Every structure is written in structure tokens, then in C-alpha cells.
Amino acid sequence: MRPRKIIIDTDPGQDDAVAILLALASPELEVMGITAVAGNVPLPLTAKNARIVCELAGRPDIKVFAGCDAPLARKLVTAEHVHGKTGLDGPILPDPRMPLQGAHAVDFLIETLRAEAPGCVTLCPIGPLTNIATAFRRAPDIAQRVQEIVLMGGAYFEVGNITPAAEFNIYVDPEAAEIVFASGAPITVMPLDVTHKALTTRARIDAFRALGTEPGRMVAEWTDFFERFDIAKYGSEGAPLHDSCVIAWLLQPDLFSGRRINVEIETTGTYSTGMTVADWWGVSGRPANALFIGDIDADGFYRLLTERIARL
Ligand code: RIB
Ligand code: CA
């Protein structure tokens, strides 16, 4: 079977980094390019970190593009308090040698979707949706050419992680999220409702370290750093590897369960801006526009993740 063509849109971020490694370790997927966006840390760092991860995976051939450095209509909010100043705090990693592509990420998204047959390219946004929304706004024809958008973002029963109501990726650029959720493209959402059920544990992190490989050691050291925030905030045993849920969905969808529902984005709430208003109980009468994932087989997820990282 031909590999599934994907573009990863990302704001690395330790959990983004693990998701990128998972994708690059999986022959079922063809990573056509990685588009960096401002989010966890500013764009120069997310564009640098994406290349660091590609080189760690032994893939300096992957095309990495820099995209939007600020949300559509708001000041950038970053998350150094979670990811550290570099965005990949934990281990010390050398600067990347592979070049950044000259083209803008938005141009790459538009050109690739127009060049490929309709329904052949999956978009995997795991950061704020600024690049995706900008591409859809500049080239409205491409939304119907997307095979699927599988994104990490939002929350409903789990409520917010950056405000009481909003999850970070949506909160940073709610206007972009509004454009994406109204685009008509097939959307699968990995919200905090499911990612918070995919927590690291000491045993799971030790399994990465026990691989005895550089990627395995990096994943362990990134999660050692990344988990401290969630442990302190939630009193949980570990941290959610949010973004890897997007890639795991492509590889083993039976690990997940969810519901096709209507999801709207709050953009004008005094306290709720950035909230994904997920009509889980179907009370709004609004048409379903997304598959909202609520549950995961966490042991199966970590088995998949560890087995794949071992291949790098
Ligand atoms: O809220 C979690 C999301 O925000 C993840 O994608 C993490 O990397 C940050 O971008
Ligand atoms: Ca991310």
C-alpha cells in the first residue's frame, strides 16, 4: 500500500518533537514537508527545532518551511513556562545543519495541495492554526482538496490548559481555528479530553531510555523536562504527549474513540475566548463538522510509540 501523504504543521515543543519522530519512523506515512508556526516559542525557534528533530531522526532531507510568526489578529502568546526558553529544553542539542526551505510555509501548503490530486494529502496541525487558516484564506479552493485535517487542539470535558476555558493551540489563534473549523474539510480533533489520558509514567519514560538509542534518550529527556509542568499543575503522574495522538490516529485509529459533532470556536468571550464549544450531546442543532476524539487505549498508544521510536 502506498504511504499516506502528510504535512505536519508544528510549533516544537517537546511533544511536537516526539510526534515528528513517530511520523518519520513510520513507513505508512510520507512526510511531504514540515511547516513551522509560532506557538510554544517564537517562529525562529520552532523553525530551528523542527530541523533539530529531523536531524535526530536521520532525515536531513525533510523539507522544513517557516510560516506565520504571529496569529491572524492577536498578539502571540507563547508557552516557555511549559517548554522552556528554547522550546526543546531538557537535553542540550546541537544547532541544525540542514537548511530551512526558502519558500514560505503557506505557499508550500497551497502549492502542494493544488499539485496533488484531491483527497491525497492529510494536514496534521499540532500547534496554533495560523498557517492553515492563512492558506485557506489565500486559496479557498484548497480546503476541498484536503484528505483530512487531524489536529491537536481544543478541549471540552477536560476544559482549558492556558485559560479555564481554552486549550493553548486554539487560544493562541482562535480566528484561525474558526476559519479551519468552518472550512468544510474533514476534521478529526485530538482535544485535551483524549490527550490527558495518554500520560507518561516513569515506566513508559524508562522504556524510551532503555532503547539505548539517541532518539530514545532524547524522548526520555524531553519528557522528563516537559512533564514537570503537568505534574505540578494537575498532580498527575506524568505529562500528556498531546501531539503524538495525531500521528497515532493515522497509524492505528482503533486506539481511539470519539463522536462526530458540531464544534464552534469562541472568539469574543470575555472569559471564554479560544474555547472549543463542542456539542457532545447534540443540543445545538448545528451540523456536525468534526470527529471529536474522547478516549484512547493508552497502553496500546505507548506500545506503538516505543516500538516506532526504536526503529530510528
Ligand atoms: O495544549 C497542548 C498543545 O499546545 C500541544 O500541541 C503543545 O505542543 C502546545 O503546542
Ligand atoms: Ca504543539
CATH number at residue 290: 3.90.245.10
Q: Which atom of ligand 1 is nearest to the CA of 240?
A: 2
* DSSP code, position 140: G
pLDDT, average across residues 282-290? 98
pLDDT, average across residues 237-252? 96
Residue 153 and residue 125 in contact, taking contact as beta carbons nearer than 8 Å: yes
Which residues does 216 contact at the CB level (< 8 Å), separation at least 6? 208, 209, 210, 309, 310
Q: What's the pLDDT at 212? A: 97
**Domain limits at 274?**
4-309
Ligand 2 centroid from CA 40, angstroms: 7
For the cut 90, the answer to whether the pLDDT of residue 228 exceeds it is: no
Q: What's the pLDDT at 202? A: 93
Ligand 1 centroid from CA 40, angstroms: 7
Testing ligand 1's pocket by substitution, the residue of 40, 88, 158 carrying the most ligand atoms inside 8 A of its CB is 40
Q: What's the pLDDT at 4? A: 98
Residue 193, ligand 1, Cβ within 6 A: no
* Residue 11 vs residues 87, 127, 157: alpha-carbon distances, Å: 8, 5, 25
For the cut 90, the answer to whether the pLDDT of residue 201 exceeds it is: yes
> Looking at the 3D structure of the chain, how many domains does it have?
1
pLDDT, average across residues 275-287? 98
For the cut 90, the answer to whether the pLDDT of residue 236 exceeds it is: no
For the cut 90, the answer to whether the pLDDT of residue 235 exceeds it is: no
Nearest ligand, CA 192: 1
Testing ligand 1's pocket by substitution, the residue of 124, 152, 230 carrying the most ligand atoms inside 8 A of its CB is 152
Q: What's the pLDDT at 231? A: 85
Task: Name the closest-CA residue to atom 2, ligand 1.
Answer: 168
Helices (H) and strands (E) in the chain, counts: 12, 10
Average pLDDT over the chain reads 97
Say how far apart CA 167 and CA 189 lie, in whole Å.
12
Q: State pLDDT tens for residues 101-156.
A: 999 999 999 999 999 999 999 999 999 999 999 999 999 999 999 999 999 999 99
Between residues 226 and 16, which one has the greater pLDDT? 16
Ligand 2 centroid from CA 115, angstroms: 27
Q: What's the pLDDT at 44? A: 98
Residue 243, ligand 1, Cβ within 6 A: yes
Q: Which atom of ligand 1 is nearest to the CA of 11?
A: 10
Q: State pLDDT tens for residues 45-93.
A: 999 999 999 999 999 999 999 999 999 999 999 999 999 999 999 998 9
For the cut 90, the answer to whether the pLDDT of residue 38 exceeds it is: yes
Q: What angle do CA 100, 50, 173 make, to 5 degrees?
A: 100
Report the DSSP beta bridge partners of residue 4: 29
Provide the pLDDT confidence category of residue 17 given band limits of 50, 70 and 90: very high
Ligand 1 centroid from CA 119, angstroms: 27
Q: What's the pLDDT at 183? A: 98
Say how far apart CA 78 and CA 101 lie, in whole Å.
24
Provide the pLDDT confidence category of residue 237 given band limits of 50, 70 and 90: confident
Say how far apart CA 126 and CA 1 lie, in whole Å.
26
C-alpha cell at 4: 499516506
Nearest ligand, CA 9: 2
Residue 46, ligand 1, Cβ within 6 A: no
pLDDT, average across residues 159-166? 96
Residue 126, ligand 1, Cβ within 6 A: yes
Q: What's the pLDDT at 230? A: 84
Choose the catalytic residue: 83, 104, 196, 242. 242
Residue 171, ligand 1, Cβ within 6 A: no
Nearest ligand, CA 152: 1
Residue 21, ligand 1, Cβ within 6 A: no
- Percent of the chain topping pLDDT 70: 100
Ligand 1 centroid from CA 268, angstroms: 22
For the cut 90, the answer to whether the pLDDT of residue 3 exceeds it is: yes
pLDDT, average across residues 13-37? 98
For the cut 90, the answer to whether the pLDDT of residue 234 exceeds it is: no
Active site residue 104: no
For the cut 90, the answer to whether the pLDDT of residue 162 exceeds it is: yes
Q: What's the pLDDT at 1? A: 87
- Angle (deg, nearest 10), helices 214-234 and 14-24: 140
Q: State pLDDT tens for residues 166-175.
A: 999 999 999 9
DSSP character string of 38-82: SSSS-HHHHHHHHHHHHHHTT-TTS-EEE--SS-SSS-----HHH
